[in-house]
Structure 1
C-alpha cells in the first residue's frame, strides 16, 4: 500500500465507508472537513482504505470486533452507534449484536453492557427492525458449575491454574465464581459463532488496557480453539484505529509471547462446584437486596430488558445483587460507597447513570452525604481532579433531587 496514491487509498476507503455507513455515509466526514480537511481525509484513508479493506477478516466480523473495542472504550457512544448500525449494513445479524452484550457482561461488566442496550434499541428503532427478543435460558441454574468448566475448556488455553492461584489466597472463591458465572452463564451462550466469541473477548481485553495476564490466556485459548495467528494480527492492526497505537503495540507485545509458545493446552484444576441453591433462590435474594438498597423492584429491572434480552436484567439482579452485593464480608453501606468510588474512578459515559443509582443507594442504606462526598474527594490523588469534579457534580445533582433544601455540611459551613 505504500506505493499507492492518496487518491487510491481514499477511493478504496470511501467504498468501505459506504458499505458500513449506508445512507448519508459521508455526512460525518463532510462535517469534519469543515474544521479539518486533512483529518477528514485521514479518517477515510487509514481506517477504511488501509485497515478495514484488508482481506484477513470479513467485513461483518471486523464490525463486530470494532463494536467490541468501542464497548470497552466506555465513552464513544456516537461511534458505537455508528458501528452497530454498520455491522447490520455489512450483513450482520441483529441477534449477534445482542449476544455480544453477554460477552460484554463477563469481560467488561454491567455498566458498559446496559449503556449499550439503549444504543442497540435506538439503532433497531431507527431501522424499524422487528426484533424478536433473545429467549431467556430455562432450567434452575443448578448446573452452571459444570457448564462453566466445559466452557473454560472450549474457550481457554494456557496455565489458568497459575492465574487463579495468584489471587486464591486472598479471595479463595473468586476463581469458582469466575467459572460459575463468567464462563458458566455469560460466555456459555451459543448465540455467537465460536470464532466470533473468541475474537470479541480478545478485542475487549486488548481495548481495556492493563489486562495483559487475562489477554495472554485468552489469546492462548483463541489459538487452541481455532482462531489463526493471522486473524489475531488483523484484529490488533484494527485495534490501532479504534483504541490507538499504544493499545495495539501493547497487544502485539503480548501476542508475540503467546505466538512464541505455540498452542498451549489448558492447565487448570479447580473442582466443579456443586450448586446448593437454584437460580430462583439467588434471584429472590437479589430482589430483596435491590429493594433495600435502591428501593427498586427486581421484577421491573428484569422486565426493562424484555424487548432485547430478558436474561440481561435477570443477571443484574441475580448475580450483582443476589450473589455479589449480598456477600457477608462488608456491610451494605460500605459496599455502596465502594461502588460509588469505583464508578467515579472509571469516569466514563457508561458509568454516569450507575453512579447516580449507587449514590442514592448509599443514602438509602445509611451513608451520609458527607461520607459520600469524602469517598469521592478521596479519588483526587488517584483519578485526577476532572474525574472527581465530575463525580461531585453528579452527587450534588442527586442530593438536590432528593432534598433541594439540604446540603452537605461542608456547604452549610460556608
Structure 2
C-alpha cells in the first residue's frame, strides 16, 4: 500500500459521530510519525480495526492533541514513560523519532538517557543505546530547542530521611549528592521544568509515586511549571503506562498542588560536570575486568558514539564506587545483581542479566548457585519472568562451559 492508500485506510476507520476526533488524532500522529506515520497502525488494523481506531482516537485525538502542552514536551514525556517501561522498544523508537519530528534534538534524546540511568537504573539507558544510535543516524542537530540556562537540581530529601540515612548508609547520601546530582543531573541540559516533568513521568510509569515523585513535582513547579502542566503529564500517563499509574500519580499530585506554600525557583547555575575522576575510573576498569571478563566492557563501549560520558560513568560509579566494595564477596554481589535483574523482568534488563551471569561464572559461581538464586525470586516475581531468566542463564552457562572446554590444553 502507498502512503496515500494507508492514510485513506486510516481515515475510513472513523465512524460519522467520531470523525472530527479521528481526523484530529490522525493529524497529530502524522506530525509525530513523519512520512511513514501510518504503517504501524495500518498493520494493527489488519488484526483489529477497533484497536486501530482506539489507538488513533484516544492517545492522539483525545490526549496528545490537547492544548495544555506543546508537542515537543509531550514527546519528551512519552519517551520518558516508555524508557521507564523497559519492554516497549518499538514504541520507544517511534516516539524518540517523533520527538525529533516535533522539534526536539539529539541532545533531548541523550538527556533522557542520563535521567533514566539515575532514576530507573543503568540497564534502561544501556538498552536504549542501539535505538538512539539508529534514530540519530543522518541527524546533524546538536543544540536543544531551548537550551537550559540552569542545570536541573535533584529534589531535596526530607530532613528525617537524611538523618536516618546519614546514620544507616552514609555512602548512599554521598553518591546521591555526587553522582545523581552532579554527574547525572549535572550533565543534563534539558530545561529544568522539562527535566522534572520527565523525571516524574518515569517514576509514575514504574509505579514509584512516593517521596521522590513528589520531589520532582515540587521541583517542576519551582522551575516554572504550571498546575496545568503537571495535570497534563498525569493525563498522558493514562495512555503510555495505564490508568492505574495515572490514578496513583493523580492522588500524589493533588496533595502537592494543595499545599499552601509554593516552591521558589531554583537558583542553581548550569555547570559542566566531569566528576568521574580518574582514580574512580581506573578502579572501575579493574573491577570490570575482574568480574565481567570483557562482556561488560562491550556494553560500556556501546555508548562511545552516543553518550560517551554516560558510558564512562557506568565504569566510574557502578564498578569504581559500588561493585568494588568488599563488604560482600564478589560472587555474592553478582548473584545479588542476577536476582535484581531477573525480578525486573523487562527487555531492558535481559542483556545486563547475561553480563552478570557471566561475571558470576567468572568468579566461581556454579550452575546450581545461579539456578537457586533464580528459584529464590519466583515467589516475588512469578513464574513467567523466572522462566525467561532461566533460559538466559542456560545460554550463558552453556557458552561459558564451551569456552572453558576449548581453553583446556589438548
Q: Which TM-score band (shorter chain)?
A: 0.7 to 0.9
Aligned to 2:334: 336
Aligned to 2:270: none
How many angstroms does 1:299 deviate by? Answer: 7.2
Superposition map of 1:324-403 within 5 A = 324-403=322-401
How many angstroms does 1:211 deviate by? Answer: 3.7
Partner deviation per Cα, 1:128-147 (whole Å, 9 max, x = no partner): 2247699xxxxxxxxxxxxx
Aligned to 1:156: 155
Change (3 A) 1:170 1:113: same
Do the aligned partners of 1:298 and 1:317 also contact (CA within 8 Å) in 2?
A: no
Do the aligned partners of 1:99 and 1:192 also contact (CA within 8 Å) in 2?
A: yes
Specify every segment of 5 or more residues in structure 1 that has no aligned partner in the other structure, as ranges.
Answer: 135-149, 267-276, 408-414
Partner deviation per Cα, 1:40-82 (whole Å, 9 max, x = no partner): 1111111001100011110011001100000000000000000
Secondary structure of the 2:63 match is helix
Superposition map of 1:155-234 within 5 A = 155-156=154-155, 160-234=158-232
How many angstroms does 1:406 deviate by? Answer: 9.4
Superposition map of 1:15-414 within 5 A = 15-125=27-137, 128-130=138-140, 154-156=153-155, 160-263=158-261, 265=263, 279-296=277-294, 303-404=301-402
- Kindly report the root-mean-square deviation, in angstroms, between the aligned alpha carbons of the 2 structures: 2.4
Aligned to 1:144: none
Change (3 A) 1:363 1:133: farther
The number of residues matched between the two structures is 375
Secondary structure of the 2:36 match is coil
Change (3 A) 1:350 1:301: closer
Specify every segment of 5 or more residues in structure 2 that has no aligned partner in the other structure, as ranges.
Answer: 1-15, 145-149, 265-274, 406-410
Distance 2:217 2:164 in 1: 19
Do the aligned partners of 2:209 and 2:249 also contact (CA within 8 Å) in 1?
A: no
Secondary structure of the 1:51 match is helix
Do the aligned partners of 2:82 and 2:92 also contact (CA within 8 Å) in 1?
A: yes
Distance 1:183 1:234 in 2: 26
Change (3 A) 1:300 1:375: closer
How many angstroms does 1:334 deviate by? Answer: 0.9
Distance 2:308 2:187 in 1: 14
Distance 1:31 1:253 in 2: 37
Partner deviation per Cα, 1:351-395 (whole Å, 9 max, x = no partner): 000000000100111211111110001111111111111111110
How many angstroms does 1:151 deviate by? Answer: 6.5
